[in-house]
Amino acid sequence: MFFSILKWVHEKYNYWSETRDWPAYLRLGMVWAHADKLFRILISTGAGSLWLHEPFSQLHYRLPYEVFERNQQTWFDIAHPRRMQRLSFLFAGLAYSLQRGAEAVLGDALRARLLEEAFPVIEGVPVPALRLLVDSGRADNLLGSFLDSDHGEQITLLLGSDVAMVFSHTSLISCRSSNHYAPRYSG
C-alpha cells in the first residue's frame, strides 16, 4: 500500500512543473517525505488497507509520465519510486534497523518466514527469489539510502546463512561476467 502511495506522489510531482527545476536529490527526497506523511495521515484516520489501495493503485493503469520525459539523475537511483518492491525493501529495512542484533531479535518462526521469502520453493526445490537477484550497488544513491546495501550481506545478517551469498554483489558480478545469463543467438 505504501508503495502505491509513493508512486502516486511521484507521478503527481512529475506533473508539477515547479519541481522540475529542483535538484534531483531534493525532488526524490520530497517525494519520499510527502508519501510518508500522506501514508501516516491516512493510516491515523483508521482507513483500511483495502480502501487505501483502491485509489492509489489506479496509477498502474495509466502510462507513466516518465515514458516521455525521464529525469536521468533520478531514473537510475536506488530510491526511485518505480524501482521499489516489497521484498528488497523488507530485507534492506530489517537489516538496516536490526544490524548486528538481528540474531537476538528474530525468532525461529520469523527467520523461517524470511528464508521462505528469500528462497521460495518451486516444484519442491528452494530457488533464490528473482526480485533479490538485482545488483543494487550499480544504482545511484542520491539520498544516501540504506536501500543500496548488498542483498547477500543483508540476508546473511538476518538469517545467518552462507547460502544467501548467491544474492551478493560479488556473486552477481561473476554471473554477469561469465555470461551465464547472456542471450544466445543463432544465425
- What is the average pLDDT score of the chain? 81
Task: Collapse the DSSP code of 77 into the 3-class scheme (helix H, G, I; strand E, B; otherwise coil) and give the result.
Answer: strand
Of 70-74, 77-81, 88-92, 123-127, give the lowest mean pLDDT range.
70-74
pLDDT band at 183 (very low <50, low <70, confident <90, very high): very low
Q: Please give the Cα distance from 74 to 25 (Å, whole number).
A: 8
The pLDDT assigned to 27 comes to 92
* pTM, two decimal places: 0.78
- Over residues 14-63, the pLDDT tens digits come to 888 888 889 989 999 999 999 999 999 988 988 877 777 777 776 655 66
Locate the domains of the chain by residue range: 2-82, 86-177
Predicted local distance difference test score (pLDDT) of residue 148? 84
pLDDT, tens only, 110-156: 888 988 898 888 898 888 888 888 877 778 999 999 988 888 888 88
pLDDT attached to residue 186: 40
What is the pLDDT averaged over residues 63-68?
68
Q: Which string of b and e fits 92-124 if b means at least 16 CB within 10 Å?
A: bebbeeeeeebeeebeeeebeebbebbbeeeee
CA distances from 21 to 12, 27, 66, 125 (A): 15, 9, 16, 50
**Residue 170: is its pLDDT beyond 90?**
no
- Report pLDDT for 25: 93
Q: What is the pLDDT of residue 182?
A: 45
